[in-house]
Every structure is written in structure tokens, then in C-alpha cells.
Chain A
Amino acid sequence: MFEARIYVTLKEGILDPQGKAVKGGLANMGYQGVADVRVGKFLVLTLDSPDRRQAEQSVREMCDRLLANPVIEDYTFEVQEASS
């Protein structure tokens, strides 16, 4: 079994209203040094794959087709052998 940890974020240059609101909230609390906040999604997938290469390949495909919207989002992921 493999575990994929996937991070989906808005592309650079795409306005992130949620990030802006969180940044404003932090500033209100007195955290003035926060230059930028971007809010994204974090997904954990458990995969029954024969090997890491195939697990990575299917995660990439799932990201391209469903988990991220390539028009506005980027993704990164890491695949690790799951301790079962």
C-alpha cells in the first residue's frame, strides 16, 4: 500500500480571496509580518498499487483529471510506502 499526500493550491497570480481574508485576520491579531497567505487543499489517498512508479502515475492522472483544475490550480504530491 502507498500513501499519496497531495497539495492543491491556486496558481501564482490568481487572486486568493480566502488567503487575503486569513491574512487580514492575522494582521488584526497583531501578526504584522505575514507577507502573503495562500489557502489550498490537502488530500491523502491510500493506494493499492504494485509499485511506487504506478502509484505516482495514477496520482498524477487523478490530479490532472479531477483533483486540481489546471485553469486556476497547481498541485504537488509525494508518495510514500504506507506503514500498514
Chain B
Amino acid sequence: MRFGVVVFPASNCDMDTYHVVDQVLGHPVSYIWHREQNLDGFDCVILPGGFAYGDYLRAGAIARFAPIMESLPAFAGRGGLVLGICNGLQVLLEAGLLPGAMRRNDSLQFRCRDVLLRVENVRTPFTNRYRTGEVIRMPIAHGEGNYYADPETLAELEREGRIVFRYCSAAGEILPAANPNGALGNIAGICNRRGNVLGLMPHPERCSESILGNTDGLGIWQSILHWWGAAREQEAVRNV
């Protein structure tokens, strides 16, 4: 399975993400400069954390017009996996690949700490190795993670099981006190209708090795590999 990590000017989690795919998963991975347009040969494209184009105007607003972003809808349309982490999610929202928008954190503070997440949907390519309702710990580091969508969109996300992660308490309760940024519905991560585009504010690449004191993020990468393996098997059966 071949991974690509998109590099925008001022991406700053690109190397961490590359490291996890390369050293922890042991899968082929390349950087994709934002001026490139060719995504042929990639199975999973990751938009990493950072401050693409300085987050000028709005987080992700300018990055979404980078040449590579023109190729992303077609890549996702072919069933390619797209994972947006933190700034990557902000870019996906601005690009309209996921619905809604990010507002400034309600505290007005940049939040850099661990949060607890409840895994709401384990039927996605990114979460199938978790258990429904499992509470996991991941770090966040953002100033604009206050998710907003209009009531109709929120209801649709809810109905279709597209809210994948929510901020929660240690007991897995969805409480205002567990919400680090004011996001509606304590939403920390959502996916598209098909399930092959996921964006989340927390950073799984920062908690996928025991040396870092937390491996709760590993489930994301294992899910991707598991899903991909299962998809290849199905393909092989079809081709017999």
C-alpha cells in the first residue's frame, strides 16, 4: 500500500506523518509537493497538520486552491483514501470535500494537550480496528477547531454515521467539559458519505509509538492497512 504526504508551505507535521508510515508501518511513502498534480499510484493521501500558507485569511483557505487540491476530488472519487489531520481537516473543509467550517476556539486559546475521544463509527477504512464507543487518548494542537455546520448538515452527518470521533470524558460521556474548542456536538472528526475521506483535529501521528508514551493513534493506521488488505482480497476474488 502506497502512501503520500502532501507538503504545503508551512505544513509542519509532514515529517512526523511520513515517519509513522515509513518506520512504524513499514509501508512505502513519499512526500507530494503541493504544486504537483499527479496522484497516480497512491492508495492513501494524507494532508498533514501545520499552517498551510500561514493560515492567512482563514485556516486552509488558500491551500485549498493549491494545484494538488485540484486532483484530490478525482482521487477520492476513484475510492482513494484521504486522511486530513488537523490543518488537513481544515483544508478539506475549505475545499468542500467534507462539510462545515472551523471557527476560532471558543476559549480564544490555542489548545495543545491530550484529549479523550469516543470512536463513534468503526465501519470506516480508518477506524475498523477500534471498538464502537471505545475511548482513546490523542493530542490536539490547534487554535481553530471549533467545528460548525448548519443544523441540516449536522442532522445528516448524525443520521449517516459520519461523525467518527467526539470529544468525551474518561467514562465516554459527551459533555461540554470534555470539549476543548466549542465544536458543535463535541465533533472531533467526520467522514464523507462514502467513508473514504476522513478529517480529524487530533494528531494520530503523535501517538503511534510506545516511546512517545501513547499508542492509541496506531488504530487509525492499522485500520487503513486492514481495510486495504480486505479490499485487495475482494478484488482478487472478483477477478478469479
Contacts and interface: CB of A to CB of B under 8 A. Distances in A.
Contacts of B107: 17
B61 A66 contact: yes
Interface in B88-135: 93-94, 99-101, 103-108
A72 B101 CA distance: 7
Secondary structure at chain A's binding surface: helix, strand, loop or mixed?
Answer: mixed
Contacts, number: 38
Contacts of A41: 57
Interface in A1-51: 10, 14-15, 17-18, 21, 41
A17 B104 contact: yes
Interface residues of A, number: 12
A66 B57 contact: yes
Given A21-B108, A69-B58, A15 B101 contact: no
Given A69-B101, A72-B103, A17 B108 contact: yes
B10 interface: no
A70 B150 CA distance: 11
B228 interface: no
Given A66-B65, A71-B148, A71-B149, A15 B100 contact: no
B106 A69 contact: no
22 contacts: A10-B103, A14-B103, A14-B148, A15-B103, A15-B182, A17-B104, A17-B146, A17-B182, A21-B108, A66-B57, A66-B61, A66-B62, A66-B65, A67-B57, A69-B61, A71-B100, A71-B101, A71-B148, A71-B149, A71-B150, A72-B103, A72-B148
Given A66-B57, A66-B65, 18 more contacts: A14-B148, A15-B146, A17-B104, A17-B105, A17-B106, A17-B107, A17-B146, A18-B108, A21-B108, A41-B57, A66-B61, A69-B58, A69-B61, A71-B99, A71-B100, A71-B150, A72-B103, A72-B148
Interface of A: 10, 14-15, 17-18, 21, 41, 66-67, 69, 71-72
